[in-house]
Amino acid sequence: MPNPYKDLDNAKFWKKAVADVAPDQIHPRAGKRFLLTKTDLLATAGSCFAQNVAKYLRGSQIVQVLEAEPLREQDPIFSGRFGNIYTARQMLQLFEEVQSGVIDSECAVQRRDDSRWVDVNRPFMEPDGFANAQDVIDARKAHIKAIAPIFEDPSVFIFTLGLTEGWINPASGRVYPVCPGVYSDDANLNYAFYNFSYEEILADMEQFIACMSRVNPGIRVLLTVSPVPLTATYACDDVMTATILSKSILRAVCGALESRLDNAFYFPSYEMIANPFTAGSSYCDNLRTVRQDAIEAVMRRFEVDYTSSRVGWDAEDDEEAICDDVQIENSMGF
């Protein structure tokens, strides 16, 4: 029986891929990848970290990035003005709302600070709020109609999973991106803490990808996990323990999806940022915000892994390539 590790490349060995590599050259890589071309149309959604990816891709001209709604300068950079989508359930919920055309009729909630009205599904999208509840509902109707192309048109959908913890309406089952009590005293709002399990998140993501694939055959879903720690937890563990549990679950879900679904892929930006093996931290002084240079390094690796013809033949290989097909001496003059 031959040694099965014998012909494996350097990336499979810790010493060669991590321990003996300059910290800025460590390059975590998923084995299952695909090739992006300039004709690909991308849509992006997810947690706040996903904005970094969308921002970079919009500026890079590597691909076309779908913008279903015109973004204003202060808007979070996604393919529509839906704001941060932290949980898998929230993503599925938005997809179902778009597909059914039946909007969340209880979306209007009154803000604590100035009594203006906002959409509970994207409470920070309109900094000035709305004058009344009906205006919120009308805006949501227009928004839901406008963002339908983000599921139907792109060839690649990039989604960053952010949290397991969320706040849901026990009566309707709707999940909110932010606990409404943070910004509202609206007595009509009923909400409760909910920490989604691995099984629930996996089921939500499988359903989302399966449904989206039905309206958009050929869509490829590229998953990432946000490396941004929790701002706060409402679970019984402390915030560090809750963060690690949350990220571990989300990473495991990505692994399961990548393994089970042909059109699901994982890009290890989380591993690039949150690993303890590179020199220096990828985080700012608050130990939460990801440094800009770290984001740029991640995106450079994204370009290497997903663009041009480099899939399967790494740029670094050029330096190691030995051309044994011509009679070249390994050395001259020695």
Least distance CB 129 / another protein (angstroms):
43
* Window 236-265: residues binding another protein (CB under 8 A): 262-263, 265
From residue 142, give the alpha-carbon distance in Å to each of 65, 81, 103, 139: 21, 11, 10, 5
Contact 81, 143 (CB under 8 A): yes
Q: Which stretch binds another protein (CB under 8 A): 69-77, 128-136, 190-198, 323-331?
A: 323-331
Q: How far apart are CA 299 and CA 277, in angstroms?
A: 19
Give the type of residue at 30: A
Give the type of residue at 221: V
Contact flag: residue 317 with another protein (CB under 8 A) = yes
From residue 245, give the alpha-carbon distance in Å to each of 19, 163, 249, 270: 26, 10, 6, 14
Q: How far apart are CA 260 and CA 17, in angstroms?
A: 27
Of 114, 116, 146, the C-alpha closest to 133 is 116
* Window 212-241: residues binding another protein (CB under 8 A): 217-218, 220
Contact flag: residue 322 with another protein (CB under 8 A) = yes
Contact flag: residue 211 with another protein (CB under 8 A) = no
Least distance CB 266 / another protein (angstroms):
11
Q: Which stretch binds another protein (CB under 8 A): 6-14, 82-90, 226-234, 235-243?
A: 6-14
* Window 17-76: residues binding another protein (CB under 8 A): 20, 22, 31-35, 37-39
Nearer residue to another protein within complex by CB, 196 or 267: 267
* Residue 172 exposed, middle or buried by CB count within 10 Å (0-12, 13-18, 19+): exposed
Residues near another protein, by CB under 8 A: 7-9, 20, 22, 31-35, 37-39, 217-218, 220, 262-263, 265, 307-309, 311-313, 315, 317-334
